[in-house]
Amino acid sequence: MKLCRYGAPGEEKPGLIDADGHIRDLSPHVPDIAGDVLSDRGLDRLRGIDVKTLSVVQTKPRLGPCVGGIGKFMCIGLNYSDHAAETGAEPPEHPILFMKANSAITGPNDDVVMPRGSTSTDWEVELGVIIGTRAKYVSAAEALNHVAGYCTLNDVSERHFQAKISGQWTKGKSCDTFGPTGPWLVTRDEVEDVQNLDMWLDVNGKRMQTGNTKTMIFTVAQIVSHLSQLFTLHPGDVISTGTPPGVGLGMKPEPVYLKEGDVMELEIAGLGRQRQQVKADA
């Protein structure tokens, strides 16, 4: 299934994408794409609904983040071998974890707003993992059983804030609008091999990133297992699993960063496309 949330910010309704690409209204059946709805039992209930009985959303509404009630937004750094190489970093021994503030989360096609003082706002197409059932001390072999599904993410980053203002990476990752999420959640049963998904990102129509999840240093299963040894993962928690090469920071001979008016377009095979216009904060 492909599940989405649509409507004005803060007023999103749950939806299902049918075989023709239309949004069907799920609100008579569930309050949101969140919590227990993300469990295997909750998703099975949705699969049991006759799609033809769901009203088609006739307008072309704004798409919100594809999951509601996100508890933790976790990100893995330097998790692609080819991206680590372009930044000159040694591959990490363990997954590098940082957090992105939930206030950064936006819809997949909402504007990205560069904060005041930004000089180095960058792009990062990433695979998002959405937890469906509570996970604590799980093995890599059982980790994916706790995943509800996957989505496309853009881990927008302000590199000066991230690296030059004393503190942790979170400073450069958590600016408002820096977490476009969606357009939809694709349930794990529809993703044949999560470690073989093509991904790309364009800026103003120019291809900047091209990658595949097969070059991940730590697989999705390893990441979920590792995090579950540190703390409990809850339904609706989101993990952004790292980015392939081609970020602005890694451009030669000099880094290239976003400017007002730029347009980012990005996609992961089978998980949907995003489009954001870049604006400067007033």
pLDDT in tens, 151-209: 999 999 999 998 778 777 889 999 999 999 999 999 999 999 999 999 999 999 999 99
Residue 88 has pLDDT above 80, yes or no: no
- If asked whether residues 46 and 77 sit together in one domain, one would say no
- If asked whether residues 201 and 274 sit together in one domain, one would say yes
Q: Is 59 among the domain residues?
A: no
Residue 53 has pLDDT above 80, yes or no: yes
- If asked whether residues 24 and 149 sit together in one domain, one would say no
Confidence of residue 87 (pLDDT cuts 50, 70, 90): confident
- If asked whether residues 87 and 194 sit together in one domain, one would say yes
Determine the pLDDT at residue 93: 93
- If asked whether residues 268 and 232 sit together in one domain, one would say yes
Q: Is 169 among the domain residues?
A: yes
Q: Is 191 among the domain residues?
A: yes
Q: How many CB atoms lie within 10 A of CB 29?
A: 15
- If asked whether residues 94 and 34 sit together in one domain, one would say no
Confidence of residue 90 (pLDDT cuts 50, 70, 90): confident
Residue 120 has pLDDT above 80, yes or no: yes
pTM score of the predicted model: 0.96
Q: Is 11 among the domain residues?
A: yes
Q: Who has greater pLDDT, 164 or 266?
A: 266
Q: For 8-42, what is each residue's pLDDT tens digit?
A: 999 999 999 999 999 999 999 999 999 999 999 99
Q: Is 139 among the domain residues?
A: yes
Q: Is 67 among the domain residues?
A: no
- If asked whether residues 148 and 27 sit together in one domain, one would say no
Whether the ω angle into residue 65 lies within 30 degrees of 0, i.e. cis, is no
Report the C-alpha gap between 179 and 114 in whole angstroms. 12
Determine the pLDDT at residue 81: 85
Report the C-alpha gap between 31 and 27 in whole angstroms. 6
CATH number at residue 130: 3.90.850.10
- If asked whether residues 32 and 82 sit together in one domain, one would say no
Residue 83 has pLDDT above 90, yes or no: no
Q: Who has greater pLDDT, 141 or 82?
A: 141
Q: Is 68 among the domain residues?
A: no
Determine the pLDDT at residue 82: 79
- If asked whether residues 35 and 90 sit together in one domain, one would say no
277 and 262 Cβ atoms separated by less than 8 Å: yes
Q: Is 263 among the domain residues?
A: yes
Residue-averaged pLDDT of the chain: 96
Confidence of residue 91 (pLDDT cuts 50, 70, 90): confident
Task: Tell me which residue range forms the domain holding 35.
Answer: 2-53
Number of domains, the chain: 2
Residue 89 has pLDDT above 90, yes or no: no
Residue 148 has pLDDT above 90, yes or no: yes
- If asked whether residues 38 and 148 sit together in one domain, one would say no
Q: For 82-86, 138-142, 151-155, 257-261, which range has the lowest pLDDT when averaged over its residues?
A: 82-86
- If asked whether residues 119 and 80 sit together in one domain, one would say yes
- If asked whether residues 157 and 48 sit together in one domain, one would say no
